[in-house]
Amino acid sequence: SSGINAEYGGSVVVESGTGSGSLTHALARAVGKSGHVHTHEFHKERYEVAKVEFERHGLGDVVTGYHRNVCVDGFAVEDGTATAVFLDLPSPWEAIPHAVRALSAAGGRICS
């Protein structure tokens, strides 16, 4: 068994506030190889460390990291394909308009 939850396999998740990457790792396991996690980090050093860690842990095909201020610049992916958007930010309300553009028209979740 792969440990992938069939309900979330293949999902596209947009995350902001990569931080240590713990949630990103869990999300990557949940969406599996048929899904994708787009994670955004404001702090350049944290972004760079996390990016290397994702590659080292074999998640390079499932996780794409971005160094970006999502409250000002939005998400790198705002094409209406996300199943869920996670806002782990000091001011998550500032990213809500961008999160709405990232979400699938068929529905999805915004979590903060």
Q: Retrieve residue 90's tokens.
A: 């000091």
Nearest CA to 94 among 66, 72, 68, 67?
Answer: 72
Q: Are 81 and 104 in contact (CB under 8 A)?
A: yes
pTM of the model: 0.91
Q: Three-state DSSP class for 85?
A: strand
Pairwise CA distance, residues 94 & 87, whole Å: 10
Distance from C-alpha of 100 to C-alpha of 45, rounded to nearest angstrom: 28
pLDDT at residue number 15: 97
pLDDT score for 4? 43
pLDDT of residue 1: 35
Tens of pLDDT along the chain (112 residues) come to: 344 445 677 899 999 999 999 999 999 999 999 999 999 999 999 999 999 999 999 999 999 999 999 999 999 999 999 999 999 999 999 999 999 999 998 888 999 8
